[in-house]
A and B are shown apart, each in its own frame.
Chain A
Amino acid sequence: MNVFEFTGLVAFAALGAGFLGALTGLGGGVVLVPVLTLAFHVDIRYAIGASLVSVIATSSGAASAYVKEGFSNIRIGMFLEIATTVGALFGAFLALHVPTPAISVTFGVVLLYSAIQAGRYREAAPGDDPPDPLAARLRLNGAYPTPNGPQPYAVRHVPTGFALMGVAGALSGLLGIGSGAVKVLAMDRAMRIPFKVSTTTSNFMIGVTAAASAGVYLSRGYIDPGVAMPVMLGVLAGSLAGARVLVHAPTHWLRVVFGLAIALLGIEMMYHGLTTR
């Protein structure tokens, strides 16, 4: 394969990954790393570096669209970014020392977990847990717009959410992904942040989290222009197109199909990690 063919095929795959990632809310990076390593035989370190770059592009590219809706909470985002950026730095330094087969296996486990999350996806019930007094002190509680006026919400379990976001950041730094599945766990399940607020806020956070580990990746040579270029341009174009058609798409079925594809890739990645030396 020459550079021209490689660039074209990878850009095409990235376009599809970005499109489906935006439609399903699972992100493109999580499928791209296995596709690059398994189908294009790219070393996982180059794949992770390229994916991380594409994560920053989608997060920042979608931000202005999200801002218009007025759901994101910049205080929740900034507060939790302390946890995700520290986690991301830790993950990036860990990536330099963990042998690549172990990274492949970890990646497979995260893919399987993401697939399960995608399958049983629904909005968490408000629950009876009392609002966390820490949330009031940190001014995390807010309100989001509805047709009937602003709907206030209170944040729960702040320390648990903060700790889980640290884990999400570490996975992001280790695997070069946005780790949306763990963020859902932290913000929707633990902190009980309303769905629309948590998705838009986490979109903002993903770019900052990825930027924390990108410096480490860049200086260690994980970011190759030949791989990162088609990945970044493809995922960016695909996710912007995906965000446009989001309203009309049968997202439930897409989630099921995409979830199954992710599960298969997860099993492949684990197999790949266990069989290559």
Chain B
Amino acid sequence: MSKPWTDRRVEVIIGHLLRAGVTAAALVVLAGAAVYLARHGQAPADYRIFRGEPSDLDEIGGIWRDALAMSGRGIIQLGLVLLIATPVARVAFSIFGFAEERDWLYVGVTVVVLAILLFGIVVSR
């Protein structure tokens, strides 16, 4: 009879984790937006042609360096990376949740999901 309650507790923790991740990401994006708009607000906005991103904004090391250099676009991108990492953290935490419940089948299922997520990050490099 204790199983549904454990499920429930895991879900509540996951809910808080997700909310914290989104809040943190939104605050970082907002901070970046303030810097970006203050510096480049009057520049023309044209996204008609796809150029991709400069090499420093398409991988985590470059984004981190740009954000530390107080580049508005770098800080926004850092917030977006935080946001993308939030569901990944949720999946990682679920492994512990299912392990607590001794549900090895779902520890396995969750490890597979996490592996797919990490595979996407590694392969796209």
Residues of A within 8 A of B (CB): 1-7, 40-43, 45-46, 53, 56-57, 59-61, 63-64, 66-68, 70, 72, 74-75, 78-79, 81-82, 85-86, 88-89, 92, 138-139, 143, 207-208, 210-216, 218-230, 232-233, 236
**Selected A-B contacts with CB under 8 Å, 14 pairs:** A7-B45, A43-B48, A43-B49, A57-B22, A57-B83, A64-B18, A75-B106, A78-B94, A82-B113, A210-B87, A223-B77, A226-B47, A228-B80, A229-B29
Interface contact A227-B47, CB-CB below 8 Å: yes
- A68 vs B45: C-alpha distance when bound (angstroms): 42
Find the residue from B25, B57, B83, B85 having the highest chain A CB count within 10 A.
B83
Residues of B within 8 A of A (CB): 4, 7-8, 10-12, 14-16, 18-19, 21-22, 25-26, 29-30, 32-33, 36-37, 40-45, 47-53, 57-59, 72-74, 76-77, 80-81, 83-88, 90-91, 94, 97, 103, 105-106, 109-110, 112-113, 116-117, 119-121, 123-125
Identify which of A1, A78, A79, A223 contacts B53 (C-beta below 8 A): A223
* A-side contacts of B29, CB under 8 Å: 229, 232-233
Interface contact A236-B124, CB-CB below 8 Å: no
* B-side contacts of A216, CB under 8 Å: 120, 123-124
Interface contact A85-B47, CB-CB below 8 Å: no
- A61 vs B27: C-alpha distance when bound (angstroms): 13
* A-side contacts of B12, CB under 8 Å: 67
* B-side contacts of A232, CB under 8 Å: 26, 29, 80, 83
Interface contact B32-A215, CB-CB below 8 Å: no
| Chain A: minimal CB distance from B103 (Å) | 8
Interface contact A139-B106, CB-CB below 8 Å: yes
* B-side contacts of A215, CB under 8 Å: 84, 117, 120-121, 124
* B-side contacts of A86, CB under 8 Å: 116
- Across the interface, name the chain A residue whose C-beta is closest to B116: A85
- Across the interface, name the chain A residue whose C-beta is closest to B8: A70
- A88 vs B77: C-alpha distance when bound (angstroms): 21
Interface contact B84-A56, CB-CB below 8 Å: yes
Interface contact A224-B87, CB-CB below 8 Å: no
- A82 vs B57: C-alpha distance when bound (angstroms): 29
Interface contact B18-A208, CB-CB below 8 Å: no
Indicate whether A4 sits within 8 Å of B18 (C-beta atoms), given known contacts A92-B120, A227-B47, A229-B32: no
- Across the interface, name the chain B residue whose C-beta is closest to A44: B50
| Chain B: minimal CB distance from A205 (Å) | 9
Interface contact A218-B84, CB-CB below 8 Å: yes
